[in-house]
Amino acid sequence: MRNNAGVFDVSHMGEFILTGPKALDLIQRVTTNDASKLVTGNAQYSSLTNENAGIVDDLIVYCLVPNEKYLLVVNASNIEKDWNWIASHNTEGVPMENISDKTCLLAIQGPNACKLMQNLTDIDLQNLKYYTFQQGTFAGVEDVIVSATGYTGSGGIEIYFEDKGDNANKIWDKIFEVGGPQGLKPIGLGSRDTLRLEMGYCLYGNDIDDTTSPLEAGLGWITKFKKETPFTAKDKLEAQKAAGITRKLVGFEMIDKGIPRHHYEIADTNGNKIGHVTSGTQAPSLNKAIGLGYVTLGNAAVGTDINIIIRDKQVKAKVVKFPFE
């Protein structure tokens, strides 16, 4: 994945279509980012927040037609929760359609992905800008959305298409017909997890959840307080920003031998508990153990020495910047 290309089947993800003149208003009220800035072909990373300023989910908003039609892509485990949350705020009767069960999604990722896939479409894949998309024909299938919002940090594309007829088999076979001889491989979600972790990207349920705020998670950049339409818990997040957060999600690498795991406790150099690990692994591309975790603000600066408690032993680690190197 870091040197060539691979394909993830991520069709388990959720997709909602919101349409009509009130669609944008609904999106603005439930998401933290400012979707009013989107034009056709733009995608935007955002989050849904609950009344306590926790994160209901993180998602991507695709603008199909400005002010009229949007595609929301949500995490698989949160499809029902997100649908119910958005529907509960749909006070203006915005038409909503859950197309998750009939939508296929393949993520073709890696530095050579666009070059290998170019012959399957007229869309200029290698000049498709980050967080943009186009609609067209791919592998002979029409009405395919091709986007560049990769979760691996190695470039590439994602393709969304309707699961009807033999579309899925046709596209899958064509992808490997052209890419297989060049080393393209099917890749599992375990690899996807280590790749995103090496980039410092959050995984819902691990690094962010209903109890973590966007500000604590380092997602202040998708929290737009100045947009015209107030979003859920805007006032609480403004208060949190004014008062200052007390904990922060950081990246760390192990200095001593040991693998950090989800829920392991983190201590300072004096042995005081200061937080917990949210994600951790032996990073295959980096050949070292890395992790993410929440720590008290006073221990969050890059270069701070910390300890990960592994089997009742304090194992040395250090806070580092993203992406991991």
| Structural contact between residues 307 and 258, judged by C-beta atoms closer than 8 angstroms | no
Query: Of 140, 155, 186, at which residue does a domain stop?
Result: 186
271 and 130 in a common domain: no
- Each residue's pLDDT tens digit in the chain (325 positions)? 999 999 999 999 999 999 999 999 999 999 999 999 999 999 999 999 999 999 999 999 999 999 999 999 999 999 999 999 999 999 999 999 999 999 999 999 999 999 999 999 999 999 999 999 999 999 999 999 999 999 999 999 999 999 999 999 999 999 999 999 999 999 999 999 999 999 999 999 999 999 999 999 999 999 999 999 999 999 999 999 999 999 999 999 999 999 999 999 999 999 999 999 999 999 999 999 999 999 999 999 999 999 999 999 999 999 999 999 9
159 and 21 in a common domain: yes
168 and 71 in a common domain: yes
Query: Of 186, 211, 237, at which residue does a domain stop?
Result: 186
Report how many domains make up the chain: 2
**Is the pTM here over 0.85, yes or no?**
yes
In DSSP notation, 269-309 reads TTS-EEEEEEEEEEETTTTEEEEEEEEEGGG-STT-EEEEE
222 and 283 in a common domain: yes
Residue 298 included in any domain: yes
Residue 193 included in any domain: no
289 and 167 in a common domain: no
Residue 290 included in any domain: yes
Residue 315 included in any domain: yes
**CATH label of the domain that carries residue 285:** 2.40.30.110
254 and 172 in a common domain: no
212 and 298 in a common domain: yes
48 and 19 in a common domain: yes
| Structural contact between residues 196 and 153, judged by C-beta atoms closer than 8 angstroms | yes
- Residues with Cβ within 8 Å of residue 38, at least 6 apart in sequence: 44, 61, 63, 66
Residue 133 included in any domain: yes
> What is the rounded CA–CA span in Å between residue 159 and residue 13?
12
The tokens for 82 are: 């997100």
158 and 230 in a common domain: no
**CATH label of the domain that carries residue 40:** 3.30.1360.120
Residue 191 included in any domain: no
| Structural contact between residues 211 and 7, judged by C-beta atoms closer than 8 angstroms | no
Residue 276 included in any domain: yes
Query: Of 156, 186, 216, at which residue does a domain stop?
Result: 186
157 and 46 in a common domain: yes
- Residues with Cβ within 8 Å of residue 255, at least 6 apart in sequence: 305, 316, 317, 318
264 and 120 in a common domain: no
Q: Give residue 265's domain range.
A: 203-320
Residue 196 included in any domain: no
47 and 19 in a common domain: yes
